[in-house]
Every structure is written in structure tokens, then in C-alpha cells.
Amino acid sequence: MTNHYIDLRNADCVMIIGSNAAENHPVSFKWITKAMERGAKLIHIDPRFSRTSAKADIYAPIRSGTDIAFIGGMIEYVLDDMEKNPDNYNMEYVMQYTNAALIINPDFIFNDGLFGEVSGGKYTDAAKNAWKYANTKTPATDLTLQDPNCVFQLLKKHFSRYDVDTVCNITGTPKDVYLEVIKTYTATGKKGKAGTICYAMGATQHTYGTQNIRAYGILQLLLGNMGVAGGGINALRGTSNVQGSTDMCLLAHILPGYLNVPVESDTDIEAYLKRSDKHPDSTITPQGLAGDTSSNWWGNARKYIISLLKAWYGEAATKDNDFCFNYLPKVDPKINYTHIGMIEAMGEGKIKGLWNWGQNPASGGPNSNGARQALGNLDWLVVADIWMNETAEFWKRPGVNPSDIKTEVLILPAACSYEKEGSISNSGRWAQWRYKAVEPPGEALPDLEIMHLVMLKLKELYQADSTPKARPIIDLNWNYGEHITADAVAREINGYDLTSGKLVASFTALKDDGTTTSGNWLYCNQYSEEEGNKCARRGTVDSHPKQIGLYSGWSWCWPLNRRIIYNRASVDLDGVAWDSEQPVIYYNAAAKKWEGDIPDGGWPPINQAEIGAKYLPFIMKPEGVARLWGYGLVEGPLPEVYEPWESPLDKNLMSGTNNDPCAFIGKYMNERGTSNQYPYVGTTYRCTEHWQTGIMTRNLPWLVELMPNMYVEMDEELAAEKNIKNGGNVVVSSARGEISAVAVVTRRFQPLRVGGKAIHHIGVIWHFGYSGMAKGDSGNILTPTVGDANTTIPEYKTFLCNVRRA
Amino acid sequence: MGKGVLYDATKCIGCRACQVACKQWNELPAVATANTGTCENPPRMDAYTFTRIHFSEIEDNGKFQWVFNKLQCMHCAHPACVEACIVGALEKRPDGPVTYDDRKCIGCRYCQVACPFGIPNFEWDKPMPWIRKCTFCADRQGAGLKPACVTTCPTGALKFGERDDLLAEARERIKAAPGRYVDHIYGEKEVGGTSWLYLSPVPFEKLGFASHSSEPVTVNAARAMGAVPPVLLGVAAAMTGIYWLTKRRRKLSRIKKSDKENTGVPR
């Protein structure tokens, strides 16, 4: 989240799209309820009327996978309305804080759904260069926003095709409801008003999921909703500590603190930083805005990567050996190392062993039959978990003969969250510290302890090995003594000044000369000499001058305990808050300092700063302003309507390009269905009562009592057609497999009119499997192995299926 | 009347955390259930399920709505169960809860018959069965805590406090958001008033709430019981009167007869 949970109560309008917050993030509803008590309106956009829709002022049905059309139409409305009624919007924000006025390369072309030439599933370098600014170092601007090549005009041209009728024909949303959504939400464009967009997997789990979020970003920037209280782009993260896991880089493409993972051609740190655009040379300085300087904060990455390497390799990391940079595994840019990529490789027999930690690919990833089959190609599999899950038991799953599977499976019982100490980072980036309440049962150990034992053993095994491959293990800094503690790791993640031996106060003090360490620059500041473990703080006083709910003394968040990021955009060029009743920060000119939240850069307001030091607010972008035009993504600078890989339509109603040209399409056991055999739109989702693949919740009797069976949901018309009764048993099938389930026939799904025909959804929960106390078929047996063009997140939310009475 | 709980259906998200918190606090086992095509489970309250959420998919004012409401003992001001219990095992405490003492219970189940909400549950499957129902977490209240369901509710749909304060707040909520609520607080007057109060966005009957007059149900028992002495006296008096009349008639008739027999001469 750019903001945080409590801040939701500050919104004038809450738009929930691609999320079922009431069911899957019930605590978020504590704050959304408070916002509504203060008069805020709640809009819910979803294929299905869920427990969230039950609380909404406006419920808008939408065909799964059509967010870009939906939001694109809202963007079109705003762009048009801005010219007619500029007073309804914060034009100063749009012109000075976004790249609306910047001039794009005149060679840019967009034609029939494509942003240039595509070759082998990728846009060519020539195409991508045409997406950049005309002048890539010092881009020109047009503050009248009239230049045909300025971002504002290009946006207008692109979204002019997203008129209300076209949009509603693609999404199936009734026109009057759609107009009501537009009117209600875009009212937050006024100065002093704030709208928040809350989203979750419904937005991201598509082949163009990243572009869905881009669309939300564009809308929020046009409405001046970024950096302000009650605004923001607020991802409701899917598990309690996934924020922590991505911050600490448990993903294939990043190092802790969202640094890039090196690639084979990164011969040294300098090359690595230049290639990944995290170098001072990548600074872009727009000409003609009130702000004249971009801090390009990623240009500091050199200090962060070196401090990280010093934390990892200690004394062995010196200036002479480039701080052991070459110890880091470097990836082949042609290989996809994400979850889907890994299962594909496993299916091809390329992976010998898998360490499976608190994960359940046999039910949790797409295409369960394929994943389960692929696991059988492993020589060995280690499963660390709190219960036996489908992955641990894949070798004896229904329908297979265990003696046919040669994989050796080793189980490491793990402690659950109440049985160990450490921090959990929530969606709002708050890394709240938790304590051990009970001893783990039997031989179960905390993950940290397991890792510690494994590393000690590895070091022991390699200590006599004189080959180069052993050096990264031998030289790895691992001084935790006999019993590792989360506290020690937290301090190491914060980092030390090696000269004084003291904890570093902030990432601004990290150096690139090897005299500082930090396990994660974003978390530098979480542990201090004066206060100790800030994540463990429990201050319940809201000390903000206008009490907007920051509770800065409760726990700690990154970066630097800044609760609302990009907050320099919440004030005008003089440092006066756009919203005087709910300011995030404001400048105290007499005292020459900022009040309120930690400012996103302590420099004075633009108009009060010296020339050459007028810092622009969006510090993480090389150009210092936010990108309405986002040329850094793989499939284009702007979101564009595509159909999902398996679509109920033969053609994309917006252009001649049916699908996202850069989506990842898996090959292993990944049959593609057609709308003839599979006429209905399948979508997977969760319910409140179960958790992920259900391995925790299906072993808890009180939760099984609430939701005892695998079920699917469908509309009454479809059920009548198929002679399916509410509560009856059905079989749902896709090109990948079929599942049995109880049918919940409900008015909460309605057929939608799309492209002249009726589209029926079938909703499938994915919490069940063949392991545990309460069993049932896994929803993911139906889903395809296709992934988002930028992130490879699987398209769980839209595929084709069929249903019959069992 | 002591403490109460205000349940606001517009804030309830149907998450059922209250159902689980109740089971956890009261150490109740889960019961075997099946998905019959609804989120609702268990389908009814019983000896092991003191509270549950009811889900209603309805039309109101031409708009489709999905409204949730929480069911449990209402902890009436004038409990029919207390009145019906012949051994005084059920008691209405001044601080609110209607409590049950299994040391006194004889298992007659009159409380089950008497309750207008059908709440008291019986342990059918036990050889030594008791009545079981929501206790309003009297034990927690005794320790200065709120009921388990209230404590766990994430949205504040459940609010605990003095019943009079809750009534004032309910009226304030209705006034502050015209059109949001039906202008009625269920439990304010029904059956003479209950500790549990409800606000709803749609007419209560559409959610399955029974219409009850503001007359305490115990009034019927009181009336019946109160009628016994006068009826007894009245019947006794009437019977006595008839007896006297009949006896006198017989006496007169005997005198007439004996006179005739003696003299043959009428007197």
C-alpha cells in the first residue's frame, strides 16, 4: 500500500475492485466502516455480488478480466472533463507532479492494439525506445498540455476509444450503474477530496495484471489522490507476511529492498547498476516545471548493494573483490525463474531437488494436475510446513500408484506463527513484532532455526572444499552462535556502522565504501541504539497534529516510518497541504521544517528552495514526477484492453490484437480450451472461512463447520439450463481437468451481456485438496499455466470452463 | 435492565468470527455440517452452537440485498423461560444475562416450549442432558470483559454497553442516516424488551424476525396463573350455589312428599 489500513477511514470514497475485502480482509472493513460512518461512499466492482457488495453503496458487475476497459472509460471521462471543468480537478498537481506535460518521442506508434513491433513474444528495442521521452535526459514539457506529443494529449488520444458504450459492451456493466460509479468516484478529483482504490488478486492475477494496476495508478494521479490521506493505491496483500516476503526478496527477480538480481552479463557492480537503471546516470531532469531537480533515489543503490554484500560476506567483501559481488548467483535473462517457470522446468525434468517452504504448489499454483505430475520428476523434495499438505503427499494422491514415483520426500515439521518470535509486515508496510506464545509441538522448529541448522551443516560440509564454488558458503557471514534469534537478524537487517560498531540510524547514512552493512536498506532505521526494536513499539497515541490515524509510535514501517509515501505530493509548491483538514505533512516556514508524517524527502517546498534544489515529489522515479505514461513495462506505456488467454469471445472488441502479446504461456500439460467446449467464464476466489490451499483451515473443526465442502457458485439461469439444484453436486471441467463440487446457485451471479451475448461466470474456491481433515477437489485443477507479461503471476481469475450435473 | 448489545446489520460483514469466538470461549465442539447451497452453517442452533449468522438474499425497494443477522438468546427483560421453569434453574440477573444453573434443572424442557424465539437447546445426544444456550458471557462480564462475540467482531457491528445508552445510540444512528435504517429498533419493546437490540436496513420480517407485541410473553402465564384463584373461587362459589339450590329443592320436595303421605290433606 502507498497508504495504510487505518488511513482508509480518511477516504471520501472507497473503490474496491479486484478484491472481496469484507470476506478476505475483514479487518480492513473496520476502517472502511468508519469511513462510511463519516459519510464516505463505498463502490464495489466485481463479477459476483459478495459480502463486500452487501455493504456497498454502488455494486457494479463486471466481466472477469475487463478492468482495463472499466477504468479506461473512467480515465476517458476525467481527461475530457478536465478540459471542460478544470476547477473540479487539481490541475496544478497533474501538471507539476506527473509527467502529463512531458514530450514523448514523436516516433511513438500505436496501432490496432499494439505499441510497435513484436517479435518472439517481446517488443523490439526500437519499439521500446519510441515509448521514451523525446529527450531522454532533459525532457521538454508543455504546461499548456496542448502539444500533440505531450503525455496528456497522447493519453487523450489513446483513451478516446474507451467511450461508455464500448466499455459497457466489453465489461457487461449496466450503463446507468457505470455512469453512477464514474460520477461518484471522480468527484474525489477536487482539491481536498480523497478517493482510495483497494485491490487484491482480482486485479493482479491476469495476463495483463500489471497493466490493470497501471490503470488504477493513472486514474489516481489524474484525480490527485496519490500521497494524500484517504487516497493511494492500496494493495490488500494476499497473506499476512507477503509484504515482508517481497521486501526481503523471496522472489526470483529481486534482492532485499527491491534491488535487481544480477544477470550473467553484469560483470561488476558498476555494470549491474547501469544495466538495471539504478545509477546516478539514469537521472532525468524535466525542463520547464516548477521543480527543477529529481533526486532519483534509486541512484543511491550503490550504497545499498555494497552494504548488503558487506552484511552477507563480512570481512571477505572488500573493495578489491568488488565486495564479493561475483558470489551472487546471476540469472540467465532468457529463463523465467518464477513459480510457473520453475514448474515448467520441473515438468521438463530439469530440476533435481526442491526445497518447498510453507508453500503448496500441488494445490496453490495453477494447473494442479500439471504441477503434481511435475513434482514426480524431482529426485528429492523437502517440505517444511505445519501440517502434511498436498505437496508433501503428492506421491500418494488419489489416482496414482506411489511405487511409480521415485521422488524422495523429506518432511521438516515447522513451528506456526504463535510458536516463534519475529516480525510480520502488513499491507501498510508496518513490520509489527510478534512474540512466542507457546512451544511448538514435537520436533517442530521455527523456520529460522531450521535455516540456521542447514547453513551450519553446509558450512561444515564445504569447509575443506578449495574450489571456487565453495567460497560463497565459506565466506558467508553467519555469526549467530548456537541459537539464532529473530532479534539478532533484525539488527543485522537494520545494519551497522562498522567503524563505530553501532546500529546505523537510517539508509541515508549507508555508504558505498564498505564501512556500513545493511541486510535490507528499506528496513534500515527499524532498530536503533536509542529505541531498540522499533517494530515492537506499541504507542497508542495519535500524535499527528490533525490526528489522521498515522499512529507513528505503534510499530515501525518502511521507509523511515513514513506512513503515507509520496507525501510531498500532498502539498502545493509552497508546502501548503491541499487538504487543510486532513494534511499528511505541511511546511512550517517559520521553523523551516515539516510537520506531520515523515516527509518524503526533507528538502524545503519547491517554491521556497534554491534553484537546483527544487526537489520533485516522486523520488523513486528518475524524472521525479509520477508516470501517467509508463514506458518501463514490457507490453507498453499505457494499459490496453486485451482478452484473457481463454476468452468467451472470439475477438477482442477493442482492437485486432486478441491477447497481451507478451504474456507468459506455459507448455507443460497446458491445454487451451475454446468457448465451444467450455462456454463459461471460470474464476477462482477465496472465502472468509478458509485460508489459501486450506491446509491450516481444513484441519480446524470450527472452520470446517462453517464451510465444510468444496463448492462452486453460479447464476440461476445457468443452473436451470443444466438442471442443477442449489446444494446439488456438479462437475466443473476445463481443458486442464475436472473437479466435483457442491453447487451454490444464487442471484448474486447474474449473466452479463457482452458483445451481444450472455456471459455466465462460474466461481470456484481454491481452498480444497486431498490432504487434511476436510477434503475436496482443488479449484486449481481448472486454471491454466499462463502468466502476467511483467510478473508471470498466473491468470487464476479468468479461464473457460463447463459444468454438468453430477 | 442492565447491559445489552446493539447489533447493526449495516456493519455486519457476515464473517462468522462471532460464531467461532463463542465456540472457543465456551469450549464447544464443532458439529458435522454440509454445504446445502448457502454460507449458513450450522443450519440451526443447538446444544453445541449458541449463536449463528443468518444470511438473507432479498429484494427491498427494487434493489437486491444480502443482509446478515446474528441469532442467539435475546436475554429478555421478562423471560418466558424463567417464568416457565418450575425449579428456578433459569434466572434473569439485574445486570442483563439470563443464566442457567444445571444443578437445579430437572430436564422438563418447559423453557424450550415457552421461549418465543425457540432458543433453549437440549443435549439430545447425552445420557445426562442439560439445557444449553448463550450465556451473554456472564462469566466474562463478571470479570469486566465484553462478551466473546463482541470482542472479536472486526467492524463494530456488535456494541456492548448499558441498554439505555445503546437505545440512545441506536436512535441517533437512525436519525443521522435517514434512509439507511428501517425506523425501528427490534428488541426495544418486543416481548417487553430484550437485552439484545437490532438495527436493520430492511424490514425485520424479511430477515426472518418474528413479529412480537410489546406485551411480555409472561403476561399469558401471569394471566393464566392469575386467573386461577378467581376462577377457582368463582367455580367454587357457583358450585356451592348450585349445591345449595339443589339441596334446598330436594328438601322442599321431600317436605311436600312427606306432608302428602301423613294427612292426605294438603297444607
User: Mind listing the pLDDT tens digit for each residue in B29-46?
Assistant: 999 999 999 999 999 999
Lowest mean per-residue pLDDT among A142-146, A481-485, A541-545: A481-485
What count of CB pairs under 8 Å joins A to B?
Answer: 98
pLDDT bin (cut points 50, 70, 90) of residue A514 is very high
Would you state the pLDDT for residue A94?
Answer: 98
Q: From the CA of B226, how many Å to the nearest CA of chain A?
A: 46
A462-482 pLDDT, tens per residue?
999 999 999 999 999 999 988
Q: From the CA of B88, how many Å to the nearest CA of chain A?
A: 33
Q: What is the mean pLDDT of residues B173-178?
A: 94
Q: Do A54 and B66 touch (CB under 8 A)?
A: yes
Chain A residues touching residue B24 (CB < 8 angstroms):
702
Chain B residues touching residue A689 (CB < 8 angstroms):
16
Q: Do A54 and B20 touch (CB under 8 A)?
A: no
Q: Do B66 and A27 touch (CB under 8 A)?
A: no
Alpha carbon distance A240, A768 (integer Å) = 20
Chain A residues touching residue B66 (CB < 8 angstroms):
49, 51, 53-54, 748
Residue B267 has pLDDT above 60, yes or no: no
Work out the number of other CB atoms within 10 angstroms of the CB of residue B214.
10
Alpha carbon distance A603, A564 (integer Å) = 17
Residue B260 has pLDDT above 90, yes or no: no
Alpha carbon distance A163, A31 (integer Å) = 34
Alpha carbon distance A378, A444 (integer Å) = 25
DSSP assignment of A380-434, as one string? EEEEEESS--TTTTGGG-TT--GGG---EEEEEEB--GGGS-EEEE-TTSBEEEE
Q: Do A26 and B13 touch (CB under 8 A)?
A: yes
Q: Do A33 and B38 touch (CB under 8 A)?
A: no
Residue A491 has pLDDT above 60, yes or no: yes
Would you state the pLDDT for residue B35?
Answer: 97
* Nearest residue of chain B to residue A712 (CA atoms): B37
Q: From the CA of B122, how many Å to the nearest CA of chain A?
A: 20
* Nearest residue of chain B to residue A30 (CA atoms): B155
Would you state the pLDDT for residue A702?
Answer: 98
Would you state the pLDDT for residue B258?
Answer: 81
Average per-residue pLDDT for chain B: 94
Work out the number of other CB atoms within 10 angstroms of the CB of residue A531.
11
- Do B151 and B36 meet the contact criterion of CB atoms below 8 Å apart? no
- DSSP H helical ranges for B73-161: 80-84, 110-114, 138-142, 148-152
Nearest by Cα to A636 from A166, A202, A219, A154: A154
Alpha carbon distance B149, B17 (integer Å) = 7
Q: Do B30 and A49 touch (CB under 8 A)?
A: no
Nearest by Cα to A213 from A196, A186, A242, A234: A234
Nearest by Cα to A47 from A151, A172, A149, A165: A172
Q: Do B37 and A706 touch (CB under 8 A)?
A: no
Q: What is the mean pLDDT of residues A23-46?
A: 97
Q: What is the mean pLDDT of residues A312-340?
A: 96
- Do A551 and A542 meet the contact criterion of CB atoms below 8 Å apart? yes
A215-250 pLDDT, tens per residue?
999 999 999 999 999 999 999 998 999 999 999 999
A412-447 pLDDT, tens per residue?
999 999 999 999 999 999 999 999 999 999 999 999
Separation in Å, CA A610 to CA A146, A566, B115: 30, 21, 79
Place of cell 455494486: A59
Residue A613 has pLDDT above 60, yes or no: yes
Q: What is the mean pLDDT of residues A511-528?
A: 98
Separation in Å, CA A527 to CA A241, A245, A261, A530, B116: 19, 19, 26, 9, 60
- Do A487 and A509 meet the contact criterion of CB atoms below 8 Å apart? no
Nearest to A22 among B13, B24, B42 (CB): B13
Q: Do A29 and B68 touch (CB under 8 A)?
A: no
Would you state the pLDDT for residue A121?
Answer: 94
B109-147 pLDDT, tens per residue?
999 999 999 999 999 999 999 999 999 999 999 999 999
Q: Do A702 and B20 touch (CB under 8 A)?
A: yes
Q: Do B13 and A55 touch (CB under 8 A)?
A: yes
Q: Which three cell numbers stand for residue A100?
A: 502529463
* Nearest residue of chain A to residue B57 (CA atoms): A747
Alpha carbon distance A315, B162 (integer Å) = 66
Q: Do A702 and B30 touch (CB under 8 A)?
A: yes
Q: Is the dihedral of CA A545, A547, A551, A553 positive or negative?
A: positive
> Hey, of A24, A48, A51, which one would you mutate to test binding to chain B, going by the most B CBs within 10 A of its CB?
A51
Q: Do B57 and A703 touch (CB under 8 A)?
A: no
Residue A667 has pLDDT above 60, yes or no: yes
For chain A, percent of residues with pLDDT exceeding 70: 100
Q: Do A705 and B31 touch (CB under 8 A)?
A: yes
Q: From the CA of B105, how many Å to the nearest CA of chain A?
A: 29
> Hey, of A33, A740, A777, which one would you mutate to test binding to chain B, going by the most B CBs within 10 A of its CB?
A33
A327-340 pLDDT, tens per residue?
999 999 999 999 99
Q: From the CA of A63, how many Å to the nearest CA of chain B?
A: 19
> Hey, of B11, B31, B155, which one would you mutate to test binding to chain A, going by the most A CBs within 10 A of its CB?
B155
> Hey, of B19, B20, B39, B199, which one would you mutate to test binding to chain A, going by the most A CBs within 10 A of its CB?
B39
Would you state the pLDDT for residue B70?
Answer: 98
Nearest to B37 among A701, A703, A743 (CB): A743
For chain A, percent of residues with pLDDT exceeding 90: 99
Q: Do B155 and A708 touch (CB under 8 A)?
A: no
Average per-residue pLDDT for chain A: 97
DSSP assignment of A698-717, as one string? GG-HHHHHHS-S-EEEE-HH
- Do B28 and B121 meet the contact criterion of CB atoms below 8 Å apart? no
For strand A593-596 and strand A585-588, is the pairing parallel, antiparallel, or unpaired?
A: antiparallel
Would you state the pLDDT for residue B265?
Answer: 57
Would you state the pLDDT for residue B226?
Answer: 82
Q: From the CA of B193, how many Å to the nearest CA of chain A?
A: 27
Would you state the pLDDT for residue B263?
Answer: 64
Nearest by Cα to A579 from A3, A93, A17: A93
Q: From the CA of A379, how many Å to the nearest CA of chain B?
A: 40
Would you state the pLDDT for residue B266?
Answer: 60
Would you state the pLDDT for residue B264?
Answer: 58
B183-213 pLDDT, tens per residue?
999 999 999 999 999 999 999 999 999 999 8
Strand, coil or helix: what is A158?
helix
Would you state the pLDDT for residue B257?
Answer: 83
| SS3 of B41-69 | CCCCCECCECCEEEEEEEEECCEEEEEEE
* Nearest residue of chain A to residue B33 (CA atoms): A705
pLDDT bin (cut points 50, 70, 90) of residue A521 is very high
Tell me the residues of B at the A interface, defined by beta carbons under 8 Å apart: 10-11, 13-17, 19-20, 23-24, 29-39, 41-42, 57, 64-68, 154-156
A680-737 pLDDT, tens per residue?
999 999 999 999 999 999 999 999 999 999 999 999 999 999 999 999 999 999 999 9
Q: From the CA of B52, how many Å to the nearest CA of chain A?
A: 10
User: In chain B, how long is the greatest CA-to-CA distance?
Assistant: 103
Separation in Å, CA A2 to CA A225, A566, B263: 11, 8, 125
